[in-house]
Amino acid sequence: MTTGAATEAGDAVWLRVGEAMPAAARREAALLADRIGLGADRAGDLALAVTEAATNLQRHSDDGALVLRIERQGPAAAVEFLALDSGPGIGDIRAALIDGNSTAGTLGLGLGAINRLADVFAIHSQPGRGTALLARFYPRGAAPPDAPGVHVGGLTRPINGEELCGDTWAAREEITADGVVDTIVMMCDGLGHGPLAARVADTARLAFRESRSVEPARIVQDLHARLKGTRGAAVAVARVDRTRRRVQLSGAGNISGFVLGPQSRQTLMSIPGIVGHSISRLQTFEADLPTGSALVLHSDGLSNRWVPADFPGLLAHGPVLIAGQLLWQAGTRGDDAGIVVVKAGA
Ligand SMILES: [Mn+2]
């Protein structure tokens, strides 16, 4: 087996609705644009779009956040932002995408502009519950042709008051001799929070990246060895066979795993334990991952009481938007939160 493209949690900058948000969002966007060499003209587009999104949030929601992060899939890097709110929602997204079309009380103004400026744009809105918007910016000419099909994505959010997050995720592809691509994904919740938990998360990502194992239970064992001497973590590792549409999962500690369908949610089992301290007899659980479904792994920083019926239409979107909406709606502010989503695709 050889290893293909990899992606993992970068630092996500969370900005809450408040006076200083649009200026802070522009500043953070410029820093991230600089870091990946977005180029002056695309950085300008990003600044315009992020200003529109931040202004919208300020105007229409008391509770909202803008999240900025660098998205990397293999060699392609982009700056993306999510605008998440608990506002009134958008009744007619198509109408809202026409410039200047904004009904009082709805998030609408500027959406058309953001849509035009971004390489990838997606929006999921639930009247009465809120809206999640994703916009992604590549350097000019660098957007991969299959960008909308990117099938792994996730999001983390530190506990209130901390900048570093102990929850993390990572994914890599394994290409078999016959050219079949499996996706292997990890969700890790470093015990506690703050810098010590973040160090566990860093070590776990590194161990995952360096592990040459392909069986989920073996990868958890590899992480167990590497996390000795740290606080330890709850970890789940899943392998998605996109051809057979099957998922295998092995984990220890409190990570929630689900196969999410439009109307269904199947729970994947994990065993008790602390990776890095004590795990006993890891087990591997298997399930089908039908077309149009998604694998969702999240830490206990999200309540696991969410139900698919609360998110109509969400599964039609890409993994980052799914992750953002679930984290926003089911996340607790009293703990680090992390979620990663693998789309089974068409
Ligand atoms: Mn936790």
Whole-number Å distance, alpha carbon 320 to ligand 1 midpoint, is: 20
- Cα 97 to ligand 1 centre (Å): 38
What separation in Å is there between the alpha carbon of 260 and the centre of ligand 1? 22
Question: Among all chains, which residue has been given the structure tokens 């007619």?
Answer: 92
List of domains in the chain: 10-137 (3.30.565.10), 150-344 (3.60.40.10)
pLDDT (tens, 9 = 90+) of the chain, 346 residues, equals: 455 678 888 889 999 998 889 999 999 999 999 999 999 999 999 999 999 999 989 888 889 999 999 998 877 899 999 999 998 888 777 777 775 554 444 444 588 899 999 999 999 998 888 999 999 999 999 988 764 445 899 999 999 999 999 999 999 988 877 777 889 999 999 999 999 999 999 999 999 999 999 999 999 999 999 999 999 999 999 999 988 899 999 999 999 999 999 999 999 988 999 999 999 899 999 999 998 899 999 999 999 999 999 999 999 999 999 999 999 999 998 999 999 999 976 5
Give distance in angstroms: CA of 236 to centre of ligand 1.
13
Position of tokens 């820093």?
A: 31
* Cα distances (Å, whole numbers) of residue 246 to 2, 24, 241, 258: 20, 43, 5, 13
pTM of the predicted model as reported, rounded to 2 decimal places: 0.94
Q: Which of 187, 192, 270 is nearest to 231 (CA)?
A: 192
CA 191–ligand 1 middle distance (angstroms):
7
- Please report the DSSP string for 78-106 in residue order: EEEEEEEE-S---S-HHHHTSTT---TTS
Distance 13 CA to ligand 1 centre (A): 19
